[in-house]
Copies of this chain bind each other. A is one copy, B any other.
Amino acid sequence: MENIITSKDNPVIKLYQKLSASKKERLQYGLFVLEGLRIVEDALKEDARVSHLIFTKQAFERYGGELLQADLRDTKTLVISNELGNKIASTSTTQGVFAICAVPEERAPVFAEDGRYVVLFGLQDPGNVGMIIRTADALGIDGIFMCGCCDLYSPKVIRSTMGSVFRERIYVIGSEDELFDVLKSGGVSTSAAVIDTDADRVTECGFGGRQAVFIGNEGNGLPAETARRCDRRVTIPMNGTINSLNAAMAAGILMWELRK
């Protein structure tokens, strides 16, 4: 057993808390945090660059042997007191397993033949963004573009992805112009998801070749100007109360139709 850290002034613990609380700190260090056994397992399995593994004493005894079988040459392991674990945990029933992980280097998008993509444009709810990433992974979407959204590396987004953040190709794009340039150069047809009844019905419009569907902000949808820059507008026909679907649910149904 390693020395057990009890002080909240330990520099790694201080770093963990800063990264957990602040996007600015995550950007500055190029690091983000993980909490929970399963997501830490996923990170190790997918060869994410884990710089620190942090266990409470109790969690180290229970899970340490299993997790430390991974190739951890570049990873430091810390054991902290259960009290300190409760202090840094974001959930009230923490498993006591934490990690600090490097933000992946930017990669140029990969455009598969008949690739299927989703563009998250201005989504602000971390739970929605995480759920869409998880669903994209389950349905086999080839890549996710994010533009003007909440921070991909916030603890709440990461937790909601259930590990899919390490499996999906996710591209954070700085501006709308750059986004359209990238998609155009990749030969991707673009569809704006809207609730207008005169848009193409997603059940009838067909998706051939490389395709990306744009999903807009939870409250306001896509800006009209952004929708106009897309090749076409698509809509989910609703049979019931004209009550827009939650953004994550709409994205799920659109990705489902894209992949079929």
Contacts and interface: CB of A to CB of B under 8 A. Distances in A.
A202 to B, nearest CB: 10
Given A135-B249, A139-B238, A249-B249, A203 B260 contact: yes
Interface in A212-255: 238-241, 243-246, 248-249, 252-253
A2 B135 CA distance: 50
Contacts of A163: 243
A90 B256 CA distance: 35
6 contacts: A134-B243, A139-B239, A167-B240, A249-B249, A249-B252, A252-B252
Interface string A121-143: 00000000001001111111100
Contacts of A245: 134-135, 138-139, 252
B253 A140 contact: no
A137 B240 contact: yes
Contacts of A259: 239
A164 interface: yes
Interface of A: 131, 134-141, 162-164, 167, 203, 238-241, 243-246, 248-249, 252-253, 256, 259-260
A106 B240 CA distance: 23
A154 to B, nearest CB: 18
B241 A167 contact: yes
B140 A243 contact: no
Contact of A253 (B167, B240, B256): B256
Given A249-B131, A249-B249, A138 B243 contact: yes
B241 A137 contact: yes
Contacts of A139: 238-240, 245
A259 B236 CA distance: 12
Nearest to A163: B243
| From A138, A141, A162, A239, residue with most partner B Cβ within 10 Å | A138
Contacts of A164: 241, 243
